[in-house]
Structure 1
Amino acid sequence: MSDGSGRWGLIDLGTVDGASSATVEAGLVSASGAGLAIECTPGVTAALSVDLGDHSSGGMRMLARSGGSGAIPYQLYAADGSTPWNLQPLPLQFGAGVSRLSIPVRARATLTGAIPAGLYTDTVRVTLSW
């Protein structure tokens, strides 16, 4: 995820055994702490949206293996964390006296086992509109 300098933060799902069929989950860590920090004029209504990433397939976000074949499907979750954050905008309300909101973002991948070893990555673009 990116700010004007190239990145808003990183979600690292860690190192997992390739034969695992576990679910792994991690939160976005950015320079401002956990999640996305958005600053805006109090009283403004805004929306935060996200694309499906560089390696999506069939409408699903995918972590792609660097230098080889293989992909792992994953979902992003924001704010309440119970519904996958796909293409729907996330409404943001900066109430009276509120100029900064922190939005927790996390990723979850359910591994299927027999996954080739390697580094799996994706880049997702976030858009703030008002």
Structure 2
Amino acid sequence: MGGEALGRYGSLDFGTHPSLSTDTASAAIAADAGLTLSCTPGVTLSMALGGGQHGSATRNMQASGSNDLLAYRLYRDAAFSNEMQVDQAYSVSFADPEDMVLPIYARVVLGGDKPPDTYSDTVVLTLSW
């Protein structure tokens, strides 16, 4: 079975922070208007998230103007207690099969030692049923 790229599902926006900040920033998936997920009721659905463009042992965002990396973590819950490991399949439950929202939350601990820049990453989301 081959995979097919469908487009961009959504984004996680940690906001803007001072470069010396040591705050913890969090975000929840914001689905883009261009892609809506729906599924046949009763079908078992699972999702897996890749390591990202700059991943190694952890997922990393890279600065647009340099090679500086900023580690972040993805979670299945808003309490940040169920971290999503790279390429691990997780079951997805949904109340409305016509308008599904995938549970993806993110957290980054700012180290206060990164130069000012825009940090980003792209992660492949794989759905299986």
Q: Give the number of aligned pairs.
A: 121
Kindly state the Cα deviation for residue 11 of structure 1 after the two structures are TM-superposed. 0.9
Q: Report the equivalent of 1:92.
A: 92
CA distance, structure 2, for counterparts of residue 123 and residue 30 of structure 1: 14
Q: Report the equivalent of 2:106.
A: 107
Task: Summarize deviations over 1:6-28 as a string: whole Å, max 9, x none.
Answer: 31111111111111111011111
CA distance, structure 2, for counterparts of residue 123 and residue 52 of structure 1: 9
Shift of the 71–44 alpha-carbon distance from structure 1 to 2, 3 Å rule, reads same
Q: Which runs of 5+ in 1 are unaligned?
A: none
RMSD: 2.2
Task: Summarize deviations over 1:33-81 as a string: whole Å, max 9, x none.
Answer: xxx9642111111211110100012x20001011212111000112464
In 2, are the aligned partners of 1:52 and 1:60 still within 8 Å (CA)?
A: yes
Q: Could you tell me the TM-score, scaled by structure 2's length? A: 0.81
Shift of the 69–31 alpha-carbon distance from structure 1 to 2, 3 Å rule, reads closer
Q: Report the equivalent of 2:68.
A: 70
Aligned-residue identity in percent: 35
- SS for the counterpart of 1:15 is coil
Alignment of 1:1-130 (within 5 A): 4=6, 6-31=7-32, 38-57=37-56, 59-79=57-77, 81-87=80-86, 88-93=88-93, 99-100=97-98, 101-130=100-129
Q: Which runs of 5+ in 2 are unaligned?
A: none
Shift of the 93–28 alpha-carbon distance from structure 1 to 2, 3 Å rule, reads closer
Q: Could you tell me the TM-score, scaled by structure 1's length? A: 0.81
Name the one with the larger strand percent. Answer: 1
Shift of the 68–94 alpha-carbon distance from structure 1 to 2, 3 Å rule, reads closer
Task: Summarize deviations over 1:59-104 as a string: whole Å, max 9, x none.
Answer: 2000101121211100011246421112321113569xx6243223
4+ long deviations beyond 4 Å: none
CA distance, structure 2, for counterparts of residue 94 and residue 20 of structure 1: 37
